[in-house]
Amino acid sequence: MHHVTKTQQFTRSSLDQLFALASQLEKTRDDCLKGKIMAALFFEPSTRTRLSFSSAMLRLGGSVITMESGQASSQSKGETLEDSIRVISNYADVIVMRHNETGASDRAAAVASVPIINAGDGNMGQHPTQSLLDLYTIQRELKREDGIHVAIIGNLRYYRSARSLSYILGKYKDMKITFVSSPELQMADDVKKYLTRHKVEWNETEDMAQVVKEADVVYQTRIAKEWIKNDAEYEKQKGRYIITRKVANSMKKGAIIIHPLPRIGEITDDVDTSPHAVYFRQVGYGLLVRMALLKTILTSKQK
C-alpha cells in the first residue's frame, strides 16, 4: 500500500489486516512514527477528518504540518496542484489531502514522491478513509462481516462517502444495499454497475419507512448545501428524509444508525440516546482506523 485514493484498491485481506491493527491500537500510544511528518492539505472545510488524522499521527509519535484553507495556499496565486504537491513532498513523509475537484487525489499521486491519502475529492469522487471507518464501525458493532443489509439514505448522487462505502461493500459476501433517495439524488450508475459486477444485491426506493425496519445498518447522509447550489431545491430535499426517535424505534433489535457527520437536522437530537445510534462511537473508530492506516503506510518500507 502506497497511495490511498479510492476504496476499490483494497482487498478483503488488506482490510482484515488493517482492521486487526486498528483494534490492537485501541487505548494505546505508539511512537513508531517518531521523526515522521504528515502534511494535512485541506482545500475544503473539515473538522473530523483533519483533526482525526492529526490526532492519529500525534498518537503514533509523529508530527503534523497543516494548511487549512485553499485561500492560504499558493494555488490562490495560480500555482497548479501538481506543482504544490511536488514542493510539499519535500516537507513531509505523507500527504493527507482534501480537494473540491473530483480526481484531484489521483493527480496528486501521479507526481508525489511520498504517499498521498485522499481525504475527500469532489462531490462525485471518493472519501476512502471515511468508508474504511464506516466499515470498521459496522463490523465492530454487528460482530460479523458478511450477510449485511445496509440502507444508504439521502444525498447519494453528490456524496462521496456514500459512493466509497458502496464500493467497499462489494468486497464482502451476501451483502445487500438499499438506496433511499429522491429521484434527483439517486446513486450514480457507475456505482450500481460496480455492485452488479461484484454480485452485490441492490435496489432503490423513495420510501424510507419500511427499509429502516429491515436493514441491519442505516447510513444517513447530509443533503450538503455546498453541492446543491439551487436554494429552492436544497430546501425541498433537506427535510425529505429525517430519522426521528419514532423512526429509530421501528428498527429491528441490534440494527445500527451511522452517519459520517456533521448532521444538519437529518437525525434529531432525541435519537442520540437510542441503542441504535452509534455515530459518535463511529468517530472514535475512525481515529483507530486512521492510526492503523498511517502506521501501515509509513512503516512498511522499513520491514
- Based on the fold, state whether residues 159 and 267 are members of the same structural domain: yes
How does DSSP classify residue 172?
S
**Same domain (yes/no): 110, 57:** yes
Q: How many domains does the chain have?
A: 2
Q: Can you tell me the mean pLDDT for 71-100?
A: 85
Indicate if the pLDDT at residue 270 is higher than 80.
Answer: yes
State which residues form the domain around 32. 7-126+285-302
Determine what percent of the chain is predicted with pLDDT higher than 70: 92
Residue 2 lies in a domain: no
Give the active site residues. 48-49, 77, 98, 127
Would you say residue 206 lies in a domain? Answer: yes
User: The C-alpha cell of 255 is what?
Assistant: 440494527
Range of weakest confidence among 53-67, 82-96, 120-134, 166-180: 120-134
Domain containing residue 205: CATH number: 3.40.50.1370
Q: Name the band, by pLDDT with cuts 50, 70 and 90, for residue 185.
A: confident
pLDDT in tens, 134-162: 999 999 999 999 999 999 998 888 788 89
Same domain, 16 and 138: no
Model confidence pLDDT, tens digit, residues 214-257: 999 999 998 766 666 676 776 677 778 899 999 999 999 999 99
Residues 267 and 153 in one domain: yes
Residue 303 has a pLDDT of 37
Split at pLDDT 50, 70, 90, the class of 302 is very low
CA distances from 204 to 157, 159, 186, 216, 228 (A): 13, 16, 8, 16, 21
pTM score of the predicted model? 0.92
Query: Could you tell me if 95 and 137 lie in one domain?
Result: no
Mean pLDDT on 29-53: 92
Do 276 and 169 share a structural domain?
Answer: yes
Give the whole-angstrom CA distance, residue 119 versus residue 138.
20
Q: Which of 192, 190, 170 is nearest to 179 (CA)?
A: 192
- CA distance linking residue 154 with residue 128, whole number of Å: 19
